[in-house]
Amino acid sequence: MPTMTDFDVTAVRARFPSLAREVAGRPIVYLDGPGGTQVPGWCLDGIRDYLTTHNTNTHGAFPTSIESDALVAEAHAAAADFLGGTADEVAFGANATTITFAMSRAIGRTLRAGDEIVVTRLDHDCNVAPWLALQDDCGVVVRWVDVRTDDCTLDDDSLAAALGPRTRLVAVGLASNAVGTINPVRRIADAAHAVGAHVWVDAVHAAPHLPIDVAALGADFLVCSPYKFFGPHMGLLWGRRSLLEALPVYKVRPADDTLPSRLETGTQAHEAQAGLLGTFRYLEWLGVEQGGAAGEPGTREGRRARLQAAMSAIRGYERSLTSPLIDGLSAIPGLEIHGITDRTRFDERCPTVAFTLEGHHPREVSRALGERAICTWDGDYYAYELIRALGLAESGGMVRVGLAHYNTTDEIDALVEAVSEIAAG
Ligand SMILES: Cc1ncc(COP(=O)(O)O)c(C=O)c1O
């Protein structure tokens, strides 16, 4: 695993044009990645090239349409290589929330009153609200997994109590977008499968930080959002083929009923798929340059190997940034980090760190950081239940610092210095 010293972050940053931006003479520091990351130049090139050269709709008998069909097929194949599935098991959509609502409605058609769905209090509401809606739609019973507020991890006893013979689906996040906790999804999936339930994984926050392998996770469905992992604004779904084929999805009558088309309603953002191919090209470059991947060029296996190597390199580098970030923030008087701070447990978190600062409203802190060109989020970021469990809903939530692999130790130092100044008033 690459460490801080052998990961060439300068070479990485050179691939991201937006990182060169300055605000009022200061270099901008992007610590807002959990709300959307920056994109490499190849992503921009893909979008521009599509709209200038190939722009049209699919399934026509003329050159640009034939090219668009090829591009769409390639984007599905590459996304499948990123997640570990096959191309027909992958579908695109507007974003993860829209996909989850659409799929939950289709899944709801297969459920009966009294069937149970398990959700967690650590998840983004994208993986809660769609399942809660099924209570009214079809009489489903929702069971909750609680969160341990001392370290912001899921409560095992609560999970065990929530599962039962009527459980049909367990909806769980791979990583918390608020506090960075990585959930033991494989263990949860095994427990869910043992009672005959399917597992819906929200990997939106995990995707920019971890290699994903849907089979190793034991997922039945998984969603993520390319705009959170260095790509364009769009959503991405993977599902097990047998389940996707059987699902009574909502669709217009003459639409193609084969996978993945049966899951994709209306016209997709082809330019975004072209941009996403550029993002995968960047990640393959990273996998070779910094992850030591070889993999045969032009093969699906080769691309999968390079993408996995890239994500492992990212994981290793980000892991090495976690200590300076947490140590630096923890030393500030009045600052409290919510989530895992024990350095022997950093494998259980990604470098997304949320804190409160005594005597300072989170919006005030984030605004003061913004004035120094340091971009952070404040509030609840739709981690609706967690913020309430922590008792922070009435006081503005938390300030969230989200590192990505293009961030540096200098940027962490700048952040810590700025928060120290704000704390000192
Ligand atoms: C963990 C998690 N799930 C879901 C979402 C929603 O994603 P989208 O904006 O693609 O609907 C987010 C966005 O912040 C997220 O962080």
4 has pLDDT over 80: no
Q: Which CATH architecture has domain 9-30+309-424?
A: Alpha-Beta Complex (3.90)
% of the chain residues with pLDDT over 70: 99
Least confident of 143-152, 293-302, 313-322, 343-352: 293-302
Q: What is the pLDDT of residue 5?
A: 62
Hey, what CATH class is 46-278 in? alpha beta
* Under 8 Å between Cβ of 295 and 303: yes
Residue 298: its pLDDT value, please?
Answer: 79
Task: Report the pLDDT averaged over residues 87-95.
Answer: 98
45-54, 66-75, 246-255, 351-360: the lowest-pLDDT one: 246-255
State the distance from the centre of ligand 1 to the C-alpha of 159, rounded, in angstroms.
23
- Cα-to-centroid distance, 341 and ligand 1 (Å): 24
Q: Do domains 9-30+309-424 and 46-278 have the same CATH topology?
A: no
Cα 60 to ligand 1 centre (Å): 34
Report field, pTM of the whole predicted structure over 0.95: yes
What is residue 384's predicted lDDT score, i.e. its pLDDT? Answer: 97
- How would residue 300 be classed by pLDDT, with cut points 50, 70 and 90? confident
pLDDT for 1:
52
- Give residue 57's pLDDT band: very low, low, confident or very high (50, 70, 90): very high
Question: What is the pLDDT of the chain when averaged over all its residues?
Answer: 96
Which of 123, 205, 210, 384 should be mutated for ligand 1, with most atoms under 8 A from CB?
Answer: 205
Of 32, 37, 97, 127, best ligand 1 pocket probe by most atoms within 8 Å of the beta carbon = 97
> Does residue 49 register a pLDDT over 70?
yes
Residue 3 — pLDDT band, cuts 50, 70, 90? low
Evaluate: CB of 96 within 6 angstroms of ligand 1: yes
Cα of 205 from ligand 1 centre, angstroms: 7
User: Where are the domains positioned within the chain?
Assistant: 9-30+309-424, 46-278
* Average pLDDT of the residues in 54-75: 98
Can you tell me the mean pLDDT for 389-415? Answer: 98
Cβ(173) to ligand 1 under 6 A?
yes
User: Whose Cα sits closest to atom 13 in ligand 1?
Assistant: 35
Q: What is the pLDDT of residue 295?
A: 72
pLDDT for 299: 86
At 2, the pLDDT band (50, 70, 90 cuts) reads low
Cα 95 to averaged position of ligand 1 atoms, centre (Å): 8
Reported as half-sphere exposure (CB side, CA atoms, 13 A), residue 70 has a value of: 9
Of 208-222, 253-267, 407-421, the least confident: 253-267
Question: What's at 73, amino acid-wise?
Answer: A
Mean pLDDT of 297-310: 91
